[in-house]
Amino acid sequence: MLRVAVLLSGRGSNLQALIDASQGDAFPATIVRVISNVPDAQGLQRAQDAGIDTVVIDHRKFSSRTEFDEALDTALHACDAELVCLAGFMRILTQDFVEGWQDRLINIHPSLLPAFKGLDAQQQALDAGVRIAGCSVHFVRPGMDEGPIVAQAAVPVLQNDDDASLAARILRQEHVIYPLVVRLIAEGRVQVEDEQVVINVGDSSAGILLNPSLADL
């Protein structure tokens, strides 16, 4: 069983998706600790309800990002974490921390990277007028929302969408692909070669995703 730690700052809906997946008999990973930089984050309660160890490391109590990241690193090593999942963790991690967890640190972002990095990715997509948006799970690198992409899911952008409706549609797919990526990593089917992800899977070709669909025309 791969030992997974989850870092979060908010409500923890992606944490809940990981918890639900990990409770399946065949899932090859277990969540050993949930860490939040926000003492009253809802995600902490989700973890406690599932019997998962929780730790609060309040970033406001540290004089620098380096000191905060050192405390974070200590807490992760203390639970023997093998994979760290960022799930709405609203802190920029230092280069030393990221490099220390190279290819053992993943993040989920609500856009089809490399497009629309940073905050308000859904509104960025709407402002750009794209017809297809989505989410990405990637290995973390020091640059914001950069790193080898493991999986992506696409959703249509509808004509009456606002950022909230598009975000909700994307979030449903986040809950699908994040547990999938953790499972693939736990099964040893994911490798990073020359900053590209190689996944040991069969032929999963499913044609194209078209928006608007032919059925609408």
DSSP 62-86: -SSHHHHHHHHHHHHHHTT-SEEEE
Q: Looking at residue 204, what is its pLDDT? A: 60
Of the candidate ranges 26-40, 44-58, 135-149, 194-208, the one whose mean pLDDT is the lowest: 194-208
Q: Quick one: 145 and 79 in the same domain?
A: no
Q: Looking at residue 177, what is its pLDDT? A: 96
Segment 155-210, tens digit of pLDDT: 999 999 999 999 999 999 999 999 999 999 999 999 999 999 999 876 666 667 77
Tokens for 72?
């974070």
Q: Quick one: 13 and 94 in the same domain?
A: yes
Segment 97-112, tens digit of pLDDT: 999 999 999 999 999 9
Distance CA 123, CA 116 (A): 9
Segment 54-73, tens digit of pLDDT: 999 999 999 999 999 999 99
User: At 123, which helix (H) or strand (E)?
Assistant: helix 121-128
Residue 10 has, within 13 A of its CA and on its CB side, a CA count of 9
Q: Which of 59, 77, 109, 138 is catalytic?
A: 109
DSSP secondary structure, 145-157, as one string: T-S-EEEEEEEEP
2 φ, ψ (degrees, to nearest 5)? -70, 130
Tokens for 105?
């640190």
Listed residues 101, 136, 161: the one ending a domain: 101
Please check whether residue 100 is in contact with residue 22, taking contact to mean a CB–CB distance below 8 angstroms.
no
Distance CA 55, CA 84 (A): 14
Listed residues 53, 80, 101: the one ending a domain: 101
In a domain, 210, yes or no: no
Tokens for 158?
């509808």
Of 146, 137, 110, 107, nearest to 125 by C-alpha is 110
Average pLDDT over residues 35-59: 98
Q: Which domain holds residue 16?
A: 1-101
Average pLDDT, the chain: 95
Distance separating the N- and C-terminal Cα atoms of the chain: 48
Whether 175 sits among the annotated catalytic residues: the reply is no
pTM above 0.85, yes or no: yes
Q: Looking at residue 206, what is its pLDDT? A: 64
Helices 121-128 and 163-186 pack at an angle, to 10 degrees, of 120
% of the chain residues with pLDDT over 70: 95
Listed residues 36, 66, 101: the one ending a domain: 101
CATH of the domain at 21: 3.40.50.170
